[in-house]
Amino acid sequence: MKHLLKLMDLSKEEILEILNLGDQLKYEQKHGIAHHRLEGKTLGMVFEKASTRTRVSFEVGMFQLGGHALFLSSKELQIGRGEAVEDTARVLSRYCDGVMIRTFAQKEVEDFARCASIPVINGLTDFAHPCQVLADLMTVREYKGHLEGLKLCFIGDGNNMANSMIVGGLKVGMRVSAACPAGYRPSPTVLEFAQSMVKSGAKFELLSDPLEAAKDADVVVTDVWASMGQEQQAEQRRRDFKGYCVDQAMMQLAHPDAIVQHCLPAHKGEEITEEVFEAHAPEIFEETENRLHAQKAVMVRLMAQ
């Protein structure tokens, strides 16, 4: 594993190795055991979109690993004035030991990785959010003790989170159902991947009825209806996603011990009710914390040599 660009590139074993290392690093951090595995290393963090969790968890994670992180806003970088991604990749490769990028097009992250001589980590694109889903899988395993065979349902927009949840869930052997309104389906590449998994025995269904998708689910996942860059469509989307709010009635259909995952930020009253959010706040904020541990594992896997 050279980069983390999307979960589709990883094998089941690679995903599980990251989760295992994440568990170990979480244990070491909780017990005050020093784990300076990236002493003297620097991570460049390029942000072309806003962030709270990704920025803080990567920066704190690098510090805890004995390294250093640089926050690089595209507004202040030459990339924001049109310097080529290919050149920025070659420049940062001369200073840093790894780069995390949050941007719009997946192609930009892939182009960056192609030209960089250091590991590149996708910190969210319109297509994928692999770091988030690694943290989600780590959280699910923490709560349920295993992943294989659990039913995961994603309710809402077929966005970066839906794409990565479907791929991540299927890779680790979960049964995945997704409910998305017409016109808001996950990426065709992801649906193709899911169909190929189904041919080898995996369980996947794409539905338009969220209640059907939530039936007997062990894990209910949702995300905002308007992602970063789609703010102007928010009103239209509120109309189109009517009936897709994760509420108490939907949760009644899920397994009685079902957990809820939300990558945050949440728009309470839209994709999730305040009641469901607060009832499941412990696992949602554990998921937030696990960004730190899972990403530390990713950085150690990619950057420690």
Sheet holding 219-222, edge to edge: 204-207, 175-179, 151-155, 219-222, 259-262
User: Among 124, 134, 176, 197, which residue sits at the site for ligand CP (rule: CB under 6 A)?
Assistant: 124
Q: Which residues contact residue 105 at a Cβ distance below 8 angstroms, ignoring those fewer than 6 apart?
A: 125, 126, 127
Q: Which two tokens stand for residue 138?
A: 């780590």
In the complex, minimum distance from the CB of residue 54 to ligand CP, in angstroms, rounded to a whole number: 3
By CB under 6 A, is residue 109 in contact with ligand CP? no
In the complex, minimum distance from the CB of residue 96 to ligand NVA, in angstroms, rounded to a whole number: 24
The rounded radius of gyration (Å) of the Cα atoms in the chain is: 19
By CB under 6 A, is residue 4 in contact with ligand NVA? no
Using CB under 6 A as the criterion, what x/- string covers residues 61-100 for binding ligand NVA? ----------------------------------------
In the complex, minimum distance from the CB of residue 55 to ligand CP, in angstroms, rounded to a whole number: 6
In the complex, minimum distance from the CB of residue 223 to ligand CP, in angstroms, rounded to a whole number: 9
By CB under 6 A, is residue 264 in contact with ligand CP? yes
Q: Bridge partners of 98?
A: 43
The percent helix, strand, coil of the chain (3-state, each to 5) is: 50, 15, 35
E strand intervals along 82-200: 98-102, 120-122, 151-155, 175-179
User: Among 42, 106, 132, 261, which residue sits at the site for ligand CP (rule: CB under 6 A)?
Assistant: 132
Contact region with ligand CP (CB under 6 A), list: 2-10, 51-59, 230-238, 246-254:
51-59
By CB under 6 A, is residue 290 in contact with ligand NVA? no
Task: Determine how many CB atoms are found less than 10 A away from the CB of residue 51.
Answer: 16
Using CB under 6 A as the criterion, what x/- string covers residues 79-108 for binding ligand CP? ------------------------------
List, in sequence order, the alpha helices (H) in 2-84: 12-30, 53-64
In the complex, minimum distance from the CB of residue 82 to ligand CP, in angstroms, rounded to a whole number: 25
Using CB under 6 A as the criterion, what x/- string covers residues 124-153 for binding ligand NVA? x-----------------------------
E strand intervals along 30-137: 42-47, 68-73, 98-102, 120-122
By CB under 6 A, is residue 160 in contact with ligand NVA? yes
Angstrom distance (rounded) from CA 22 to CA 266: 25
Check 131, 180, 245, 263 and give the catalytic one.
Answer: 263
Check 3, 55, 280, 291 and give the catalytic one.
Answer: 291
Site for ligand NVA in 214-233 (CB under 6 A): 223-224, 227-228
Tell me which DSSP letter residue 246 carries: B
Residue 169 CA neighbour count, 13 Å, CB half: 32
User: Among 263, 272, 297, 299, which residue sits at the site for ligand NVA (rule: CB under 6 A)?
Assistant: 263
Q: Which of ligand CP, ligand NVA, none does residue 106 bind to, with CB < 5 to 8 Å depending on kind?
A: none
Angstrom distance (rounded) from CA 289 to CA 185: 29
In the complex, minimum distance from the CB of residue 67 to ligand CP, in angstroms, rounded to a whole number: 20
C-alpha dist (Å) from residue 116 to 10, 124, 253, 282, 300:
19, 18, 47, 39, 18
Site residues for ligand CP per CB under 6 A: 51-54, 124, 132, 263-264
Active site residues: 102, 129, 132, 223, 263, 291
Name the site residues for ligand NVA (rule: CB under 6 A).
124, 159-161, 223-224, 227-228, 263
